[in-house]
Amino acid sequence: MAQTQGEPIILRRAKAFAHMLEETPLEIPDGALIVGRHPKTTLNEEEAARIREEWRRVADPSEDEELHYQQQGLFRAPIITLHLAPDAQRALSIGLGGLSKAIRDRLETQNISSPLVGEDKGNFARPKRASSPAKAGGGSTPTLALPHEEGGNAAISPDAMNSQNRPCASSAEGQEKQDAAACEFLNAALICLEATGRFIQRHADLALEMAASEEDETRRAELQEIAAVCRRIASEPPNTFREALQLIWFIYLLVNLESDHIIHCAGPGTLDRWLIEFYQEDVKAKRLTPEQALELLECFFVEMNASLPRGGILPLAIGGLKAEGEGAENELTWLCLKSAADLRMLHPSLALRYHRNMPRELLRAALRCIGSGNSYPALFNDDVCVASLRQSGVSEKDAWDWVHSICTELTAVGKTCAWIAAPYLNLAKCLELTLNHGRCLLTGEQLGEDLGDLTTYADFEELYDAYKKQVSFIMDKGLQATARNQQQAKEKTPYPFLSCFTADCLEKGRDYTDGGARYNPDYVQGIGLSTAADSLTAIRHFIFDKGMVDPEHLLNALKSDFNGFEELHQRLLNKPPKYGNDDDYADRVFAGLVEDFYGEVKRHTNATGRACFPGFMTWESHNLLGKGTGASADGRRARAALSDSVGAVQGMDRKGLTALLLSVTKSDYVPAVGGVTFNVKVSPEMFSSDEMLERLEAALVTYFEAGGFQVQVNVLSRQLLEEALENPDLHTNLIVRVGGFSAYFVELDRGLQEEIIARTIHS
């Protein structure tokens, strides 16, 4: 905005956010019960690319170098990472007005270090609610009029936000700069919150206007109810299930809009836990039936898909355990699952948090949802995931309320600013460089350290030690790129609205991008793990153990992409032990790579001081980084997709589902808080009878009891996928699991489509 030129960036972004909410045309579609939709629902690829390029031009020029590294297959370091589940419980407990008042009180008293009103170390207790929606002001939180209403508390004026007049500037020596920044942040947060209240009130006004001209009596009553709901939650805490659900939707819609509509991965967290008390009280008071709640949830899910661009991930985790060890599943867990099964849409990215005491009928219902053609829910092992978060430093209390913040990486809901790809590190490329003097097999460019080549290593141990050094060298470069991007995000794209719903940001007076969140981990993702493992296994087997292949012969074959080396190529594909077949020879190599990757990541710290934690979440990076990776010793051709996370190399798990599950569980994934993605493709016949479904269920339960982290199941035939590849217009609604997320198959990159088709189908 030109009128804010020269002001601090965080205030400029807050005012731009407020301007957007004031000027955006509103829409309440026919039949909608949950409202709030951005009129421009999708950025096409050209627009998104243009905006990203504009961001690049104002960012560090060294990003051109980072892009070059990505094209060469080394790593990917995303420019901005905004993957989280905001803490909507704050708004549910004290309302937007209560949160605004707490910030305003702090500014006016010039005490930015005091706790916010109504908080306990960032965790807001829910006040006693009114027994009836008619008693709108009956809770313990005072009713606050909106800023523009008569009698309301005025927002900090534009003049007061100029640097000369900003309140609460500290006079204490050494604190002035810090306190001034905190005041800028708190003012920005206040601007965003009060603009949000006005935005919600605009929906109330529109609903009443539409009701006045609505001829259908039923729809007129619905519009009047929409107006009443919006009018209350614009400033006050919700009293009913519907009010709470509507408020949560507004928060998530606006968090995603604040992120410029490109990075859109803020989801509704653990909705069944947050809303169960509202639901139960409404049902008890006969204000709500389960059928009405289901309709509202389905309207909520529809708005996700209508208002946010394709390509985003809106995570929702249901079920799991409470801190006391009891199952957290409840009536809303079932309703969320049924909503997803009924609608069969991309959003939300649904996960079921499995635990050993979970009712088997709930797990069976989840499997039936998957088998009906949905690609969700993904199944997570709650015991392993909670232990993983605890091991990464998350408190016991916070660890029980977790969500997969985009694909499979774990974050404490509303408390975490995780850079979930910091970076994506290509382990197969690291091995390629180790075999070729640090040079790229595709271009000959010197990308890594010159530690020798395949002909110079005396034994497998020497080769493996060199590989680990290469991983460390490339990891350093990736972390440097990540640190630069984090600094750019802090300086150019603060998120004051999101920060209002991230624990400790308001308490610290610091933005989400500036260390304000309670937890600030960097997740370093190992990509191409199975490709690297099978390649090392083949080298160990053929060269160092059996002496059946000359090292120079294999190196020349890799350099030529196996052209002229077809016999060797077939031997590499079919003769060595392969991970994913319960073969200890191959599985030990894989497990060694996993453990050594953990150790290497933990030895590193980001230049910004953020701690690093390991993971194997791929997103689409196994395909993108594969394009820059030469031929590998497992028989993979140059530029082909790499393996996907901890699953076997595509098509190499040849001894059935049980053998694959046994291979995966030979490694310990508790340290992998950055996420583990395990894709399993099964034939539709597995769901053809109760007996077959019981077998699949038993196999997955055994997998989890053996320490499995996560699994996601595609139920698709090769024939159907090949038909969709050739005739995409006939299969526009075919949903598949990719690298931890769901997508429409026909919209994927051709390389990803072929990678999915190549996966083994288990029956």
Q: In what helix (H) or strand (E) does residue 681 lie, and over which residues does it extend?
A: strand 679-682
Task: Give me the mean pLDDT over the 227-231 stretch.
Answer: 99
Q: In what helix (H) or strand (E) does residue 58 lie, and over which residues does it extend?
A: helix 45-58
What Cα–Cα distance (Å) separates residue 196 from each residue in 41, 102, 147, 257?
19, 16, 11, 12
Catalytic residues: 407, 409
What Cα–Cα distance (Å) separates residue 457 from each residue in 431, 539, 549, 553?
13, 11, 14, 15
Task: Give me the mean pLDDT over the 403-430 stretch.
Answer: 93
75-76 and 123-124 strand pairing: unpaired
Residue 731 confidence class, pLDDT cut points 50, 70, 90: confident
Give the position of tokens 């006939």: 730
> How wide is the angle at C-alpha 494 spanned by C-alphas 493 and 496, nearest 5°?
140
* Entry field: residues in the chain: 763
Task: Give me the mean pLDDT over the 176-194 stretch.
Answer: 91
Q: Is residue 42 pLDDT above 70, yes or no?
A: no
The C-alpha atoms of residue 638 and residue 559 are separated, in whole angstroms, by: 9
Residue 171 confidence class, pLDDT cut points 50, 70, 90: very low
Q: Is residue 659 pLDDT above 80, yes or no?
A: yes
Nearest to 273 by CA among 324, 242, 316, 318: 318
- Who has greater pLDDT, 38 or 613? 613
Task: Give me the mean pLDDT over the 682-688 stretch.
Answer: 89
* Ranges 162-176, 240-254, 338-352, 681-695: which has the least confidence: 162-176
Eight-class DSSP state of 730: G
Please spell the DSSP secondary structure of 214-272, one letter per residue. Answer: ---HHHHHHHHHHHHHHHHHTTS---SHHHHHHHHHHHHHHHHHHTTTTS-EE--BSHH
> In angstroms, how far is the first alpha carbon of the chain from the final one?
58
Q: Which percentage of the chain shows pLDDT scores above 90?
A: 65
Using CB atoms within 10 A of its CB, is residue 404 exposed (0-12), middle (13-18) or buried (19+)? buried
- Who has greater pLDDT, 165 or 675? 675
The C-alpha atoms of residue 278 and residue 557 are separated, in whole angstroms, by: 65
Q: Is residue 104 pLDDT above 50, yes or no?
A: yes
Q: In what helix (H) or strand (E) does residue 461 lie, and over which residues does it extend?
A: helix 460-492
Task: Give me the mean pLDDT over the 149-173 stretch.
Answer: 37
Eight-class DSSP state of 189: H
Nearest to 482 by CA among 425, 426, 526, 434: 425
Residue 145 confidence class, pLDDT cut points 50, 70, 90: very low
With beta carbons less than 8 A apart as the criterion, state whether 618 and 528 touch.
no
Nearest to 148 by CA among 105, 216, 198: 198
Q: Is residue 661 pLDDT above 50, yes or no?
A: yes
3-state DSSP helix/strand/coil % of the chain, to nearest 5: 50, 10, 40
Q: Which percentage of the chain shows pLDDT scores above 70?
A: 85
Q: In what helix (H) or strand (E) does residue 615 lie, and over which residues does it extend?
A: strand 612-615
Quick check: helix, strand or coil at residue 711? strand
> How wide is the angle at C-alpha 699 spanned by C-alphas 679 and 644, nearest 5°?
15
Q: Is the dihedral of CA 512, 740, 529, 447 positive or negative?
A: negative
| pLDDT, tens digit, 9 for 90 and up, residues 259-284 | 764 555 678 889 999 999 999 999 99
**Best mean pLDDT range from 84-98, 123-137, 729-743:** 84-98
**Best mean pLDDT range from 93-102, 365-374, 487-496:** 93-102
Cis omega (within 30 of 0) for bond into 78 = no
What is the reported pLDDT for 125?
40
Q: In what helix (H) or strand (E) does residue 120 lie, and over which residues does it extend?
A: strand 119-120
Nearest to 143 by CA among 155, 153, 132, 154: 153
Helix axes 657-664, 584-602, angle to 10 degrees: 40
With beta carbons less than 8 A apart as the criterion, state whether 408 and 431 touch.
no
What is the reported pLDDT for 741?
74
The C-alpha atoms of residue 392 and residue 45 are separated, in whole angstroms, by: 36
Q: Is residue 200 pLDDT above 80, yes or no?
A: yes
- The token pair at 628 is 């820059």
* Ranges 303-312, 605-614, 747-756: which has the least confidence: 303-312
With beta carbons less than 8 A apart as the criterion, state whether 84 and 417 touch.
yes
* Ranges 377-386, 642-651, 696-705, 713-722: which has the least confidence: 713-722
Q: 586-625 burial, b if ≥16 CB within 10 A, otherwise e?
A: bbbbbbebbeebbebbeeeebebebebbbbbbbbbbbbbb
Eight-class DSSP state of 543: I
| pLDDT, tens digit, 9 for 90 and up, residues 480-533 | 989 988 888 889 889 999 999 999 999 999 999 999 999 999 999 999 999 999
* Ranges 113-117, 177-181, 190-194: which has the least confidence: 113-117
| pLDDT, tens digit, 9 for 90 and up, residues 441-462 | 999 999 999 999 999 999 999 9
How far from chain centre, in Å, is Cα 532?
25
